[in-house]
Chains A and B, each alone.
Chain A
Amino acid sequence: MSVLELHDVHKLFGDNHVLKGVDLTIDEHEVVVVIGASGSGKSTLMRTINLIERVDDGRILLSGDDITDPAVDVDKVRARIGVVFQHFNLFPHMRVIDNVTLAARKVHGTDPAVARDRAIGLLEKFGLGEKVRDYPDRLSGGQQQRVAIVRAIMTDPELLLLDEITSALDPMLVGEVLDLVRDLKAQGSTMLMATHEMSFARSVADRIVFMHGGRPLEIGPPEQIFGDPQQPETREFLARVTHR
């Protein structure tokens, strides 16, 4: 069964029709990367899936459950999805360990000791073992974003949303975050990711979605999108971002 299915999703902000009928399916263990110019609807798409924005039409299914049904408990849905933001959004008044275990302890009812062990295991695995007791402001941007990713995967979400997670980082620090994403892919995480890092998109994605004017204009494997784009808009966009 598909982890995520979007059927004809629309979103309007007043007269501004941002999503104009998005159809998209993501299978288990699949990594789908969304590319497109600013304003093409990438972020809005992510926000509708996380139910931060309410869709104005269409249906979104998470592992078969209609999460756009008005009767649905949005907190329960969000607990099943991990999100990593552009600006990390770690809680500055909590230590790394408390940031990471918060949802497990307070939402999923995991025993604090169990949550703690799992969190330390994950942090050590991703080279953050030294930082467990630190506050976020003591960490570099790359470290903060890695902590944010650990926070998002801590509760084994069915789907991971990564919204331009390297856009606020120094070029020097982008690599360490992207390496972590590669590790997650190797472990079989299902991910939907918006990014401007084209070479990374090419190497990590199973499928690329090119958003243009509020619609997925072209969807396909990276070799096709980057090697032989079918749409003139896709070609133009790629020429601009890759300076060819």
Chain B
Amino acid sequence: MTDRAATEAWEPSSLELERRLARKRASRRSVLIALVSTVVFAAVAGWAVLSSPGWEDVQQAFFNPEVAKDAFPKILEGLWLNIRVLFFATIAVAVVATLLAVMRSLRGPVWFPLRALATGYTDLFRGLPVLIVLYLVGFGIPALNPENRISVAVLGTIGITLCYSAYVAEVLRAGMEAVHPSQRIAARSLGLSHAKTLRLVVIPQALRKVVPALMNDFVSMQKDVGLISVLGAVDAVRAAQIATASTYNFTPYVVAGLLFVAMSFPMIRLTDHVSARMAAREQQGGTV
């Protein structure tokens, strides 16, 4: 292979080495500028907060380490409930939303009732505030059958699933519609049925298109599972509320908030990473 030999023989010229050095210098300069501006910004923001007249009281009421330490175990225990709810709700949302999206994409007059049902469902549950759905499910379903008590965590999971299925279904449907019609035509021309076309050709491509949007919905759901506290489930938010009620101090809320942020942080970073990678793939090199 003469090509390989040429590559091995090639060494960057002094011109190129000089250029690389210049680029390195320029990037070092921009890092330095970023560093300085960040420090200045943090100093100004910190000074503005710390020098405000009520800071000492706020520190006592919101950032009390003693209270935080006492409340932490209970809140963490509550967060475990949130995580379990999130786990089951995610699975349920994936199944229900896919069904809804497929129902909405069915063609032909026979399927009108299913199509209408799916459309009505997504219209309704995207419009309803999550809190109202939780109240209706949490207090409505038990009232139907007062004999059997269903755990509030289960009811909360159902409520969250109802809401998020509607959103995720619309994201999936948008993705399916974004797959170029020629792909459908090609699949149908091979003799694949509508269902097989969806399953083998359209949905795999659609999913790839909507991964960032889906991950964003997941991040949103991660914090909305905290709303099940309104039903009385002792999750992280509820645990913080209980601790606050007994200490007259708001620090537990701050602790719970930080825990939720910590929980969503990996997913947020992963979403950024995936989006960037997909953008890079579409760009196919090039530095525009």
Contacts and interface: CB of A to CB of B under 8 A. Distances in A.
A207 interface: no
B51 to A, nearest CB: 43
B12 interface: yes
Interface stretch (A8-16, A26-34, A98-106, A125-133): A8-16
A52 B12 CA distance: 20
Interface of B is mostly: helix
B246 interface: no
Chain B contact patch, size range: 10 to 19
B287 interface: yes
A107 to B, nearest CB: 14
Contacts of A170: none
Contacts of A53: 285-287
Given A20-B6, A20-B10, A68 B286 contact: no
A171 interface: no
B188 interface: no
A213 interface: yes
Interface in A190-205: none
Interface stretch (A56-64, A115-123, A136-144, A160-168): A56-64
A237 to B, nearest CB: 17
B19 A69 contact: yes
B13 A17 contact: no
B178 interface: no
Contacts, number: 46
B57 interface: no
Contact of B288 (A15, A52, A68): A52
B126 to A, nearest CB: 28
Interface string B1-22: 0110011001011011001001
Interface string B179-209: 0000000000000000000000000000000
Interface string B49-67: 0000000000000000000
A108 interface: no
B3 A213 contact: yes
Contacts of A68: 19
B6 A17 contact: yes
A220 to B, nearest CB: 23
Nearest to B12: A57
A57 B286 contact: no
A47 B16 contact: no
Nearest to B11: A57
Contacts of A213: 2-3
Nearest to A44: B285
B283 to A, nearest CB: 10
A71 B19 CA distance: 9
B15 A57 contact: yes
Contacts of A71: 22, 26
Given A17-B6, A17-B7, A20-B6, A52 B19 contact: no
Contacts of B19: 68-70
**Most B-side CB within 10 Å, residue of A57, A68, A71:** A57
A143 to B, nearest CB: 22
**Most B-side CB within 10 Å, residue of A12, A13, A70, A214:** A70
Contacts of A69: 19
A56 B288 contact: no
A8 B288 contact: no
A54 interface: yes
B28 interface: no
Nearest to B7: A17
A58 B288 contact: no
Contacts of A8: 13
A12 B8 CA distance: 12
Contacts of B288: 52
Contacts of A54: 287
Given A68-B19, A71-B26, 19 more contacts: A10-B16, A12-B7, A15-B7, A17-B7, A20-B6, A52-B286, A53-B285, A53-B286, A54-B287, A56-B16, A57-B10, A57-B13, A57-B15, A58-B13, A69-B19, A70-B22, A70-B26, A213-B2, A214-B3
Interface of B: 2-3, 6-7, 10, 12-13, 15-16, 19, 22-23, 26, 285-288
For the complex of A and B, list the 3 residue pairs with the smallest distance between their C-beta atoms, beginning with the closest.
A57-B16, A17-B7, A70-B22
5 contacts: A8-B13, A20-B3, A47-B286, A53-B285, A71-B22
Interface of A: 8, 10, 12-13, 15, 17, 20-21, 47, 51-54, 56-59, 68-71, 213-214
